[in-house]
Amino acid sequence: MSRPASAPSGLPLGLRLAFPLALVAVALAAFWPCIDYPFVALDDDANFELNFLFRGLGDEQLRWMWGWRSYHYGHWHPLTWMTFGWDYARAGLDAPAYHRTSLAIHALSVLTFWWMALELLRWCSGRLQAERPAEEPTRASELLLHGCAALATLAWAIHPLRVENVVWLTERRDLLSALFLFATVAAYLRMQRFGALRGAWLVLALATYALSLLSKAWGMTLPVVLLALDAYPLRRLSRTSLRALLVEKLWFVPLAALGAFQAASAQREIAATVTLDEHGVLHRLAQANYGLCFYVLKTLWPSNLGCHYLLELDFDPLRPIYLAAIASVVAITVVTFLLRRRMPALFAAWFVYGVLVSPVLGLLQSGAQKVADRYAQLGSIPLLFLAVGALLVWLDSRREQLARAPVVVLAALAPFALGLGLLTRAQVRVWSSSEALFQRAVAADPGNYFVLHNLAVMLYRRQAWAEAIEIEQRSVDAHPGRGNEFARHTLGLLYQMQGRMDEAERAWRTAVEWQPEPEDARWRGRLAFWLPDPSLCLTALRGPMGARGAWAELAGLYERGIERRPDVLQLYTDLDGIYAQLGRATERVALWERAEKVASLPRARVSAGLARALLAAGRPRDAEPHVFRAAALERAGAQDVLDALALAMQRSGLPATLELFERARRSSVPGAMVENGIGKAYLAANRLQEAEPYLLRAQALDSQSRGYVVDVCELFLKQGRREDAVRNLRALLDLDPQNARAKALLAQASGGGR
């Protein structure tokens, strides 16, 4: 099988280097204002300012970053976290330093895109063909090739749709993933050029693909893209069997499958995945076709950009806009398929475009976004190459008539870069602050309840109370149901800040009192699903209502809340506390017995709640099986209720307490809890020698339990080993400065008490 030879470039080295360096300079100039920007309150706060796990590159941080199930905010991207850890190690939480790193990554992406563009355009234009050796390029043809590659690179690198990827620090994963993905495709294309080094290029392609998936998993469809490249422009199907090409891609499939698995698992971890009951098959198909049209149109005309495009609450796939999108996608697909032999580039570009954006089209919907500007980062690439490749082929075919074509292309680059750069720079300024970002998003979509609420929070932070109230009320009006509970809560807080307590309480009460207007079609047939979670607002009501002693009234509101949303555990927990304050032991037991009948509530927490209620009602034997069930299911949430049960049994003497823990052992209660319980029983009876092995064994079985450390230190004090107790307590308080038991015991030990 003949291979295209590596033809020497017809351009001098200096000129060849000038192209990529100039492209990097233009990209840096377009995005340069962002180097002084702060973190924005769109996931940056949760990812960096409130996240203590990524800070540095020590053993603890690296274990978290690379942990198999170290999902954070619905993503797994250890390599990206390492870049953030490096930023923190050198600059702390100085946001401009993070922006400089992101800008450097984008500059490297420009270089790898340029490399990929040159390779791909050589094949698209016929300069490289597998059937014959490559011709020695002329200076004019190479200048034209480099000019078109520069045009494609500029159109990708400084397009306004790139702003979200580059300037939003949370989305650095996009930049890093794309950087390695471009290198993967370029290496794959080179693999087809250099037969002698085929294995080396394959290894490079696999290595960079792995790095891409470790940065973000959105390159999971690459094996299909490579098959499409085999068909066009590589045209390998004419000389290689499909089976051989499929076998070749098997090197990439395990990596893609791993990335897809981790991406799906991370989304499930935060319950972001939307079920078919919430968003049906027809709805997803309509959304997917809308997305396919959206990214094409926004690439061609990037106006009215926002940081959040909302999936409508009353999404109707039969609306004209969705029917038009479906019709357009079907028409384009049919036409390009029918023309695939005469114009293979059309169908290839359209197919690859669909494959690249398929993970973000909503077919497996996550969250409340319908589309996003950042999703066009990869999807726009085949469209750009279709246009630029067609231009290059057209100019090549008329090279004799258009002798100055390379000069014309090069001359057009400057105004093109200037115009696109100015648009991008204007979009960069939108991200200069959280408030500016949300103001722009509201202007783009005035009915978007999500960005309205976020804007209200920004106004709240700078104490613009009246303006914040008006914006937050708009958010509640736009979406008064499930998914916008924070807006109701914040609206009440804003009224409270102004001393308007009646309005604050009224805002919070609507969480359990809201009913939709009869003519509002959004909730028709699905009201039960859209009823808001009232727990946050009811918690806010506890202060003012408790201050005036209206506990019984508040309990009634909680009862109403549970009737509407029986699946919210916090409502049961809070109402249990209110009943305890009112001395209603019987109602506490009945409450948790009702919770036991709700299948969606966590079994361990419900069992623990029922056990507490039964213990408060003086029924320890009835509580026992519920305590054991809670402990067997979830140790952390059941330790205190097991301690309470043991304390109740101590009134019957040490033998009864020891029998309790033997029954616990037979009921699959974790061994550490059993050993610790027996040890504490002996400790309470002042039988120190017998207590010691049990307490030490419990600590060995569960070294993460700080309560077990305090129990051992209490034993040390009773044994007169004050120095051992003080040393261990101080070490514990270094890790957990707010541990009340440890502080009290240390104070006792420091005072010389036994």
Write out the H or E segment, with its range, that includes residue 282.
helix 281-300
pTM of the model: 0.85
User: Does the residue 30 lie in any domain?
Assistant: yes
Per-residue pLDDT at 135: 63
Question: Could you give the CA distance from residue 575 to residue 434 in angstroms, rounded to a whole number?
Answer: 37
Strands 369-371 and 309-310 turn out to be antiparallel
Express each pLDDT in 420-444 by its tens digit.
999 999 999 999 999 999 999 999 9
For 605-657, the DSSP string reads: HHHHHHHHHHHHTT-HHHHHHHHHHHHHH-HHHHHHHHHHHHHHHHTT-HHHH
Express each pLDDT in 203-233 by its tens digit.
999 999 999 999 999 899 999 999 999 999 9
User: Does the residue 413 lie in any domain?
Assistant: yes
Lookup: tokens for 505: 């309480």
Contact assessment for residue 263 and residue 272, using Cβ atoms and an 8 Å cutoff? no
- Split into its structural domains, the chain has a count of 2
Burial class (CB in 10 A: 0-12, 13-18, 19+), 1: exposed
Q: Point out the domain boundary residue: 401, 428, 455.
A: 428
Per-residue pLDDT at 2: 43
Task: Indicate if the pLDDT at residue 508 is higher than 90.
Answer: yes
User: Does the residue 501 lie in any domain?
Assistant: no
Share of residues in the chain with pLDDT > 90 (%): 76
Contact assessment for residue 107 and residue 27, using Cβ atoms and an 8 Å cutoff? yes
Range of weakest confidence among 83-87, 408-412, 476-480: 408-412
The number of angstroms, rounded, from the C-alpha of 110 to the middle of its chain's C-alpha atoms is 25
Question: Could you give the CA distance from residue 380 to residue 353 in angstroms, rounded to a whole number?
Answer: 7
The CATH number for 718's domain is 1.25.40.10
Q: What sections of 54-159 are H helices per DSSP?
A: 59-66, 78-91, 95-124, 139-157
Contact assessment for residue 478 and residue 511, using Cβ atoms and an 8 Å cutoff? no
Burial class (CB in 10 A: 0-12, 13-18, 19+), 272: middle
Task: Indicate if the pLDDT at residue 9 is higher than 70.
Answer: no
Identify any residues that bridge with 366 across adjacent strands, giving them in sequence order.
273
CA distances in angstroms from 321 to 293, 299, 373, 446, 448, listed in the order given: 10, 19, 19, 19, 18
Residue 129 is classified by DSSP as B
Lookup: tokens for 314: 């009353």
Contact assessment for residue 307 and residue 441, using Cβ atoms and an 8 Å cutoff? yes
Provide Rg for the chain, Cα atoms. Answer: 32
Determine if the peptide bond prior to 223 is cis (ω within 30°): no
- Please report which confidence band the pLDDT of residue 548 belongs to, taking 50, 70 and 90 as the band edges: very high
Crossing angle of the two packed helices 172-193 and 198-215, in degrees rounded to 10: 170
Per-residue pLDDT at 239: 83
Q: Which residues of 619-635 are buried (b: 16+ CB within 10 A; e: fewer)?
A: ebeebbebbbbbbbbbb
User: Does the residue 503 lie in any domain?
Assistant: no
CA distances in angstroms from 446 to 135, 365, 471, 735, listed in the order given: 57, 23, 10, 47
Nearest to 181 by CA among 228, 225, 232: 225
Per-residue pLDDT at 538: 97
Per-residue pLDDT at 402: 65
Identify any residues that bridge with 310 across adjacent strands, giving them in sequence order.
369
* Mean pLDDT along residues 245-266: 92
Q: Point out the domain boundary residue: 407, 428, 449.
A: 428
Per-residue pLDDT at 691: 94
User: Does the residue 203 lie in any domain?
Assistant: yes
Task: Indicate if the pLDDT at residue 340 is higher than 80.
Answer: yes
Per-residue pLDDT at 7: 47
Contact assessment for residue 157 and residue 423, using Cβ atoms and an 8 Å cutoff? no
Nearest to 493 by CA among 475, 508, 480: 508
With a CB cutoff of 8 Å and minimum separation 6, the contacts of 529 are: 277, 278, 482
Q: Which residue matches tokens 């209720």?
A: 641
CA-CA-CA-CA dihedral for 475, 478, 482, 484, to nearest 10: -10
- ∠ CA 114-120-121 to the nearest 5 degrees? 90
Contact assessment for residue 425 and residue 30, using Cβ atoms and an 8 Å cutoff? yes
Question: Could you give the CA distance from residue 382 to residue 535 in angstroms, rounded to a whole number?
Answer: 48
With a CB cutoff of 8 Å and minimum separation 6, the contacts of 317 are: 282, 283, 285, 286, 287
Within 13 Å of residue 362, how many CA atoms lie on the same side as its CB?
27
Per-residue pLDDT at 1: 41
Express each pLDDT in 135-161 by its tens digit.
677 888 889 999 999 999 999 999 999
Burial class (CB in 10 A: 0-12, 13-18, 19+), 670: buried
- Average pLDDT value for the chain: 91
SS3 484: coil
* Mean pLDDT along residues 312-338: 95
Contact assessment for residue 379 and residue 288, using Cβ atoms and an 8 Å cutoff? no
Question: Could you give the CA distance from residue 383 to residue 159 in angstroms, rounded to a whole number?
Answer: 13
Per-residue pLDDT at 430: 96
Number of residues in the chain:
754
Express each pLDDT in 376-415 by its tens digit.
999 999 999 999 999 999 888 876 666 677 888 888 899 9
* Mean pLDDT along residues 455-469: 94
Contact assessment for residue 116 and residue 185, using Cβ atoms and an 8 Å cutoff? yes
Question: Could you give the CA distance from residue 730 to residue 716 in angstroms, rounded to a whole number?
Answer: 14
User: Does the residue 553 lie in any domain?
Assistant: no
Q: Point out the domain boundary residue: 428, 451, 468.
A: 428
With a CB cutoff of 8 Å and minimum separation 6, the contacts of 255 are: 206, 209, 210, 213
Range of weakest confidence among 62-66, 123-127, 173-177: 123-127
Lookup: tokens for 575: 């109402």
Q: Which residue matches tokens 């203590």?
A: 52
Express each pLDDT in 661-687 by its tens digit.
999 999 989 999 999 999 999 999 999
Residue 481 is classified by DSSP as S
User: Does the residue 658 lie in any domain?
Assistant: no
Q: Which residue matches tokens 């979009």?
A: 427
Lookup: tokens for 74: 């619905």
* Mean pLDDT along residues 693-697: 93
User: Does the residue 320 lie in any domain?
Assistant: no
Looking at residue 352, its amino acid is V
| Residues spanned by the domain of 717 | 670-754
Identify any residues that bridge with 129 across adjacent strands, giving them in sequence order.
132
* Mean pLDDT along residues 316-322: 94
With a CB cutoff of 8 Å and minimum separation 6, the contacts of 599 are: none
Q: Which residue matches tokens 């169908």?
A: 347
Per-residue pLDDT at 754: 39
Question: Could you give the CA distance from residue 259 to residue 691 in angstroms, rounded to a whole number?
Answer: 50
Looking at residue 368, its amino acid is A
Question: Could you give the CA distance from residue 451 to residue 306 in angstroms, rounded to a whole number?
Answer: 10
310 phi and psi angles, rounded to 5 deg: -80, 140
Identify any residues that bridge with 371 across adjacent strands, giving them in sequence order.
309
Q: What sections of 168-197 are H helices per DSSP?
A: 172-193
Residue 702 is classified by DSSP as -
409 phi and psi angles, rounded to 5 deg: -60, -45
End-to-end CA distance of the chain: 88
The number of angstroms, rounded, from the C-alpha of 242 to the middle of its chain's C-alpha atoms is 37
Lookup: tokens for 143: 């200048």
